[in-house]
Amino acid sequence: GAVVSQHPSRVICKSGTSVKIECRSLDFQATTMFWYRQFPKQSLMLMATSNEGSKATYEQGVEKDKFLINHASLTLSTLTVTSAHPEDSSFYICSARGQGAATNEKLFFGSGTQLSVL
Amino acid sequence: GENVEQHPSTLSVQEGDSAVIKCTYSDSASNYFPWYKQELGKRPQLIIDIRSNVGEKKDQRIAVTLNKTAKHFSLHITETQPEDSAVYFCAATRSGSARQLTFGSGTQLTVLP
């Protein structure tokens, strides 16, 4: 299946700093990537849909100036948490839709990033 | 939009017993229903999926059933093993559209040895 690589896997930062998370599709081109946030023992909450070459679409309640998304190429999307605060601590995970008739509705997930803001 | 409800939120079974997780969806146009398994701190892994043109699909110890009329689908795991312990998520979407998956709230399955 398609492979999605996400880095870093774990980040610990001070309050007020910005953190960038990268999501790469390794063996396929992903015109659309999705960014989720997951709190402990809860479901995946969609934050935004990242489209290559255009602005991301944010879900209601998600601050686009707080969570900057860039999808500059068909294989890379980044999420930057700006001026992070303790309440931003969470597990962030990206996903990409597969290509081809057999997999184009399947989502392939990155390995996730555990962000801890002190 | 689509709304997916999942039950139970937690499920404990003895090793070797069967486990069943149920989901309902609201959008009658949804036609693709995947199930994901997520271990603690890891990425969700697709374990099985079903499209609305079939009522049941099986892969070894895992099976999924779909009732389009009632708009519900279920995951069945037989002969459970401790390594089946994880959180399981159901999801629904319209295949072929750019719409993202709508996930259920998850079920924490614990298989007791």
* Tens of pLDDT, residues B37-54: 999 888 999 999 999 888
Q: Measured between alpha carbons, how far is residue B70 from residues A80, A97, B27, B95 in Å?
A: 42, 28, 11, 19
Residues of A in contact with B90 (CB under 8 A): none
Joined together, the tokens standing for residue A27 give 């063996």
- Euclidean distance between CA atoms B39 and B83, whole angstroms: 10
Q: Is B49 exposed, middle or buried (0-12, 13-18, 19+ CB in 10 A)?
A: middle
- Does the distance separating the beta carbons of B41 and A106 come in below 8 Å? no
Three-state DSSP class for B8? coil
Within an 8 Å CB–CB cutoff, is residue A114 touching chain B? Answer: yes
Residue B27 and residue B72 in contact, taking contact as beta carbons nearer than 8 Å:
no
Which position has the higher pLDDT, A71 or A22? A22
**CA-based nearest residue to A107, from A60, A22, A46, A38:** A46
Cβ contact, residue pair A109, B45, below 8 Å: yes
Mean pLDDT value of segment A10-26: 95
Mean pLDDT in chain B? 92
Å from A97 to nearest chain B CA? 9
Which residue of chain B has the CA closest to A115?
A: B41
Whether residue B113 lies within 8 A of chain A, CB to CB, comes out as no
How high is the mean pLDDT of chain A? 89
C-alpha distance from B101 to closest chain A C-alpha (Å): 8
**Residue A99 touches chain B, beta carbons under 8 Å:** no
| Closest-CA distance of chain A to residue B71, Å | 19
- Tens-digit pLDDT profile for residues B63-73: 999 999 999 99
- As a whole number of angstroms, the distance between CA A19 and CA A79 comes to 8
pLDDT at A102: 57
Q: Among the listed ranges A76-80, A104-108, B76-80, B108-112, which one has the minimum average pLDDT value?
A: A104-108
**pLDDT one-digit tens code per residue, A58-112:** 999 999 999 999 988 889 999 999 999 999 999 999 998 766 655 566 788 999 9
Interface check for B29 against chain A (CB to CB < 8 A): the answer is: no
Asked whether the beta carbons of residue B34 and residue A106 sit closer than 8 angstroms, the reply is yes
Nearest to B101 among A107, A111, A114 (CB): A107
CA B36 to mean position of chain CA atoms: 6
Q: Do A32 and B95 touch (CB under 8 A)?
A: no
Residue type, A11: V
Diameter over CA atoms, chain A = 45
Shortest CB distance from A43 goes to which of B46, B96, B103?
A: B103
Which string of DSSP letters, residue by residue, matches A32-98? EEEEEEE-TTS--EEEEEEETTS--EEPTT--TTTEEEEEEETTEEEEEE-S--GGG-EEEEEEEE-
B63 and B50 Cβ atoms separated by less than 8 Å = no
Distance of CA B4 to the CA centre of its chain: 11
Helix (H) or strand (E) holding B82: none
List pLDDT tens digits, range B88-100.
Answer: 999 998 876 556 7
